[in-house]
């Protein structure tokens, strides 16, 4: 398995950048998710990595080799990268074992070794009893496992997955997530996993690169993205909660700053002395009758085990959790504890509101 590195990677279509100076390193054996809204450049980054497209600027390095750059382009078949697509892309006229065996046939692996490796890959993906079936006789989840086995069998240097579970229903998705985790643990593969489903990204990946408009906004462990978002986009896109503007009061302490948030003075966690916004997760909000900040309940949905409330606090939409159903229109007091504050002077307030109200 190999380290994958992007340096100033740029790709334009008709002069418009789909990738705009991507710098990132994915460690050998690391599981990284690319998360971002439709059109942000996720598939383009995978296609460049696989060698289906050439960059306009910048370089891609795999295991220390330059595979794409100004003076070098290694074709897809020579990159030894495995790819799993949303559409499975199986050979319809080959059986399950025929599909899985194919990459080894292309590499002229002797028959005996081929059979042993195919059997191992089928075992690992739970497909042993399906070896002789045709793809048309399989469910979506089983087909995706064949695609995974086919990719695993030739021991690629990295595995790229483009929304591999998007075609599957919710229950099957979560069981397939377990299959991917197990696959990663057993193979130690370097994996780059594209999704626009944040719960999938947060559940599966060691680190998540949050993309927007061809750039990486933040590249960090899931819990860091959630607890310490770098800007309004990440705070609104990853995890639940609200993003609201804040004003400096002039008081601070190491790692903390006292801000005026919705008219209340609140001590916030922060890495900067001059934050402009706070990310308020539902856990940071306590509802109580005597809290000074008043809000009106505008939404209440049952999540199983608890309710998700949307509150209007002076025109800002907050999200809180409650154990009891609440009546729409009711007024409640809100106290905010320990939110994360960051500086994002370019934030477009309307964009933030749209994201947090969704």
Ligand X SMILES: Nc1ncnc2c1ncn2[C@@H]1O[C@H](COP(=O)(O)OP(=O)(O)OP(=O)(O)O)[C@@H](O)[C@H]1O
Q: Which is nearer to Mg ion, 43 or 276 (CB)?
A: 43
Dist CA 171 CA 37 (whole Å)? 23
Tell me how far, at minimum, the Cβ of 163 lies from ligand X, in Å. Answer: 7
Looking only at residues 1 through 20 of this chain, which bind ligand X when binding is defined by CB under 6 A? Answer: 13, 18
Between the alpha carbon of residue 11 and those of residues 248, 284, 285, 351, the distances in Å are 40, 40, 42, 25
Beta-bridge partners for 245: 277
Question: What is the pairing mode between strands 264-270 and 256-261?
Answer: antiparallel
Contact 257, 250 (CB under 8 A): no
Contact 160, 42 (CB under 8 A): no
Among 4, 43, 208, 243, indicate the residue that binds ligand X (CB under 6 A): 43
Q: Which is nearer to ligand X, 225 or 242 (CB)?
A: 225
Looking only at residues 171 through 210 of this chain, which bind ligand X when binding is defined by CB under 6 A? Answer: 196
Dist CA 339 CA 279 (whole Å)? 6
Tell me how far, at minimum, the Cβ of 46 lies from ligand X, in Å. Answer: 8
Question: What is residue 317's DSSP assignment?
Answer: E
156 binds, among Mg ion, ligand X, none (CB under 5 to 8 A by kind): none
Dist CA 293 CA 331 (whole Å)? 10
From the list 33-41, 92-100, 120-128, 287-295, the region that binds ligand X by CB under 6 A is 33-41
41 binds, among Mg ion, ligand X, none (CB under 5 to 8 A by kind): ligand X
Q: Which is nearer to Mg ion, 195 or 295 (CB)?
A: 195
Tell me how far, at minimum, the Cβ of 168 lies from ligand X, in Å. Answer: 16
Among 5, 6, 44, 246, indicate the residue that binds ligand X (CB under 6 A): 44
Tell me how far, at minimum, the Cβ of 56 lies from ligand X, in Å. Answer: 12
**Quick one: which of 211, 212, 136, 200 has its CA closest to 172?**
200
Interface residues with Mg ion (CB under 5 A)? 43
Tell me how far, at minimum, the Cβ of 195 lies from Mg ion, in Å. Answer: 9
How many helices (DSSP H) and strands (DSSP E) are in the chain?
9, 22
Q: Which is nearer to ligand X, 168 or 244 (CB)?
A: 168
Tell me how far, at minimum, the Cβ of 38 lies from ligand X, in Å. Answer: 3
Output phi, psi for 342, to 5 deg. Answer: -145, 165
Among 8, 23, 25, 39, indicate the residue that binds ligand X (CB under 6 A): 39
Tell me how far, at minimum, the Cβ of 161 lies from ligand X, in Å. Answer: 12
Residues in binding contact with ligand X, number by CB under 6 A: 11
Contact 103, 118 (CB under 8 A): no
Contact 277, 232 (CB under 8 A): yes
Question: What b/e string do you get for 11-45 counting C-beta neighbours within 10 Å, with b at 16 or more?
Answer: beeeeebbbbebebebeebbbbbbbbeeebbbbbb
Beta-bridge partners for 256: 253, 269
Q: Which is nearer to ligand X, 209 or 246 (CB)?
A: 209
Looking only at residues 45 through 84 of this chain, which bind ligand X when binding is defined by CB under 6 A? Answer: none
| 38 is an interface residue for ligand X by CB under 6 A | yes
Tell me how far, at minimum, the Cβ of 39 lies from ligand X, in Å. Answer: 4
- How far is it between the farthest Cα atoms of the chain? 76
Q: Which is nearer to ligand X, 35 or 309 (CB)?
A: 35
Q: Which is nearer to ligand X, 46 or 104 (CB)?
A: 46
Q: Which residue is nearest to Mg ion (CB)?
A: 43
Tell me how far, at minimum, the Cβ of 44 lies from ligand X, in Å. Answer: 3
Question: What is the pairing mode between strands 31-35 and 207-212?
Answer: parallel
Containing 115, the helix (H) or strand (E) segment is: helix 111-124
Q: Which is nearer to ligand X, 35 or 121 (CB)?
A: 35
> Which stretches of the chain bind ligand X, using CB under 6 A?
13, 18, 36, 38-44, 196
């Amino acid at each position: 398995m190999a380290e994958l590195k992007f340096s100033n990677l740029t790709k334009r279509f008709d002069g418009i950048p789909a990738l705009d100076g991507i710098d990132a390193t994915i460690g050998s054996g690391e599981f990284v998710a690319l998360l971002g809204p439709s059109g942000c450049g996720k598939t383009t980054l995978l296609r460049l990595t696989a060698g289906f497209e050439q960059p306009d600027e910048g370089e891609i390095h795999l295991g220390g080799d330059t595979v794409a750059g100004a003076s070098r382009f290694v074709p897809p078949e020579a990159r030894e990268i495995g790819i799993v697509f949303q559409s499975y892309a199986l050979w319809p006229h080959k059986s399950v074992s025929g599909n899985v065996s194919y990459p080894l046939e292309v590499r002229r692996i002797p028959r005996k070794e081929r059979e042993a490796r195919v059997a191992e890959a089928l075992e690992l993906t739970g497909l042993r009893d399906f070896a002789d079936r045709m793809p048309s006789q399989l469910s979506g989840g089983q087909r995706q496992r064949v695609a995974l086995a086919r990719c695993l069998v030739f021991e690629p240097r990295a595995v790229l997955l483009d929304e591999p579970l998007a075609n599957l229903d919710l229950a099957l998705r979560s069981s397939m997530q377990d299959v991917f985790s197990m696959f990663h643990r057993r193979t130690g593969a370097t994996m780059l996993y594209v999704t626009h489903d944040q719960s999938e990204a947060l559940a599966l990946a060691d680190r998540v690169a949050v993309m927007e408009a061809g750039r990486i906004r933040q590249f960090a462990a899931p819990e860091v993205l959630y607890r310490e978002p770098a800007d309004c986009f990440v705070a609104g896109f990853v995890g639940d909660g609200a993003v609201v503007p804040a004003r400096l009061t002039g008081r601070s302490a190491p790692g903390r700053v006292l801000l005026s948030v919705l008219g209340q003075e609140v001590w916030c966690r922060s890495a900067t002395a001059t934050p402009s916004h706070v990310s308020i997760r539902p856990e940071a909000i306590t509802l109580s009758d005597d809290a000074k900040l008043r809000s009106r309940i505008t939404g209440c949905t049952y999540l199983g085990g608890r309710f998700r409330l949307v509150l209007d606090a002076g025109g800002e939409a907050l999200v809180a959790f409650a154990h009891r159903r609440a009546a729409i229109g009711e007024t409640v007091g809100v106290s905010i504890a320990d939110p994360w504050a960051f500086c994002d002077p370019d934030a477009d307030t309307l964009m933030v509101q749209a994201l947090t109200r969704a």
